[in-house]
Amino acid sequence: MESSVTSFGRLTSEGHRVTNASGFLGQTNVLPRGLGSSYGDVCLNPGGTLAVTAGMNNFLAFDQETGRLKVEPGVTLGEIQRTFAPRGWMLSVTPGTQFVSVGGAIGNDVHGKNHHARGTFGDNTLELTLLRSSGELLTCSREENRELFLATLGGLGLTGLVVDATIQLQPVSGAYLDTETIVFGDSGEFLKLSDESESAWQYIVSWIDCTSKNGRGIFMRGNNSADTRVPDVKLGGPSVPFTPPFSLINRASVLAFNQAYFNLNRIKAGSAVTHYQPYFYPLDSVTNWNLAYGPRGFYQYQMVIPRHDGRAVLDEILSQIRRSGQGSFLAVLKTFGADHGPGLLSFARPGITLALDFTNLGARSDALFKTLDSIVMEANGTLNPSKDARMSRAMFEQGFPKFAEFEQYRDKAISSAMSRRLMGW
């Protein structure tokens, strides 16, 4: 049936034919889609068909000894955490929201706070079954159909529909983390803390106050705790009930939020034992927070820049953002480990990554992004496709040089707004 579909950033709302996964075959212009939690246009196919896998949400097999879990693609990461944490296993890699599907996590080769320790979601994907539009079902792994496997990890859903996947969970004692919160005064201190922490801490993430002059922030590191308490965390929290007529995220609210957030965390700084939900998924506690950006939606701009000269580049980016007056609520900063993501189009690579959310202000947003793009490109950095809605083709080709090699593995019946924009098909 025909209906209007948006992605998480809500920048566009255009007509799609939407079917469940069984409607994937027999189409000429179709895109597999999980929960649609990507910010930009990677999960959109206006004028074409979306084959939604959310209903394919069965667990298929689990080995309690090895932690290998076989699932259908629509299983959410939250469901995996909830089900297996009490049994001593959790996801090896999780992004900052649990409302994403396994299929989406594979297609975007997502990363988490522990990239330096565990790599990407694709690094922990052992095997998958890929349905091609020809009707062919292919088992893909590092041993079998290896090239297609590596094209599918981070392949933006363009190589076929993943009908099942086997992933490696990691052993844990319980659902809690031992965490430490440290205030830093500038980007140099952040980098020093990162370097010192990587060998002893599995999870590292920072929030940076992009309204501040020096780039002060909060550094958070954690390890799975030996604490085996039964979780008593209450699910659910406030929600944004409807789309306000204008964005609630503006210069004044961003400034106020950043001040408050910094000072609250300065008071809280120190050690704590934290449940995984508020630690891994702080934003999931506010349902529909994306609506707060108003009817025009918002962009997430996530870059990675090489570690070499990273500090100077980071400072330049922060200064440009401050100058534009378009501060970001949530500026998330972390360093990636030494390994490049396994997929041909994987985003994760050695360097520093910064993710920022910006209200869509039309031409003003565009002008800021163009300035940031040129700094990022000059530094030999790139942007994360799973967040992107607007980078240029030239920028994509510079950041993802295997795009031409990737094309031979695409499924010719599959196309997305993003593939048409960045690869011309």
Partner 1 sequence: MRYLVIGATSGIAKAISRIWVSRDGEAEFVLVGRNASALDAAAADLQVRNPNAKCQVFSLDLTDPTAIGRLESQLGSVGRIDVALLAHGELTDQTLAQTDPITLANSLTVNATSVAVLAEMSARLMEKSGGGKLVVIGSVAGDRGRKTNYSYGAAKALLDTYVRGMQHRFAGGNVQPILIKPGPTATPMTAGMPGASKMASPDKVAADIVKGIDGDKATVYTPGIWKLIMLVVRMIPAPIFNKLNF
- Rounded CA-CA distance 66/383 in Å is 35
What distance lies between CA 299 and its chain's CA centroid?
Answer: 13
Among 72, 186, 284, 388, binds partner 1 (CB under 8 A): 72
Count the site residues for partner 1 by CB under 8 A: 24
The answer to whether 287 contacts partner 1 (rule: CB under 8 A) is no
The answer to whether 137 contacts partner 1 (rule: CB under 8 A) is no
CB of 45 to partner 1, least distance (A): 13
- Residue placing its CB nearer to partner 1 in the complex, 236 or 424: 236
- Residue placing its CB nearer to partner 1 in the complex, 32 or 327: 32
The answer to whether 12 contacts partner 1 (rule: CB under 8 A) is no
Contact yes or no for 261/208 (Cβ under 8 A): no
Task: Pick out residues in 22-61 that bind partner 1 (CB under 8 A).
Answer: 50, 52, 54-55, 57-61
The answer to whether 19 contacts partner 1 (rule: CB under 8 A) is yes
The answer to whether 3 contacts partner 1 (rule: CB under 8 A) is yes
370: how many CB neighbours lie within 10 A of its CB?
11
- Residue placing its CB nearer to partner 1 in the complex, 60 or 226: 60
Among 8, 24, 39, 62, binds partner 1 (CB under 8 A): 62
The answer to whether 223 contacts partner 1 (rule: CB under 8 A) is no
- Rounded CA-CA distance 154/108 in Å is 4
Provide the pairing of β-strand 14-20 with 270-275: unpaired
Provide the pairing of β-strand 351-359 with 298-305: antiparallel
Among 12, 18, 68, 285, binds partner 1 (CB under 8 A): 18
The answer to whether 239 contacts partner 1 (rule: CB under 8 A) is no
DSSP 72-112: -TT-BHHHHHHHHGGGTEEES---S-S--BHHHHHHTT---
Q: What per-residue string of b and e applies to 307-324 under the rule 16 or more CB within 10 Å gives b?
A: beebbebbeebbeebeeb
Contact yes or no for 122/154 (Cβ under 8 A): yes
Contact yes or no for 333/221 (Cβ under 8 A): no
The answer to whether 99 contacts partner 1 (rule: CB under 8 A) is no
Stretch that binds partner 1, among 14-22, 200-208, 218-226, 381-389 (CB under 8 A): 14-22
The answer to whether 263 contacts partner 1 (rule: CB under 8 A) is no
The answer to whether 158 contacts partner 1 (rule: CB under 8 A) is no
- Residue placing its CB nearer to partner 1 in the complex, 1 or 363: 1
- Residue placing its CB nearer to partner 1 in the complex, 51 or 172: 51
- Residue placing its CB nearer to partner 1 in the complex, 62 or 298: 62
Q: Helix (H) and strand (E) counts for the chain? A: 12, 18
Element housing 16 (H / E): strand 14-20
The answer to whether 20 contacts partner 1 (rule: CB under 8 A) is yes
CB of 40 to partner 1, least distance (A): 18
Task: Pick out residues in 78-97 that bind partner 1 (CB under 8 A).
Answer: 83
- Rounded CA-CA distance 2/63 in Å is 41
- Rounded CA-CA distance 369/414 in Å is 29
Backbone angles phi, psi at 389, to 5 degrees: -135, 0
CB of 360 to partner 1, least distance (A): 20
Mapped onto helix, strand or coil, the DSSP state of residue 172 is coil
Q: Which two tokens stand for residue 393?
A: 């083709």
CB of 421 to partner 1, least distance (A): 24
Residues that bind partner 1 (CB under 8 A): 1-4, 16-21, 50, 52, 54-55, 57-62, 64, 69, 72, 83
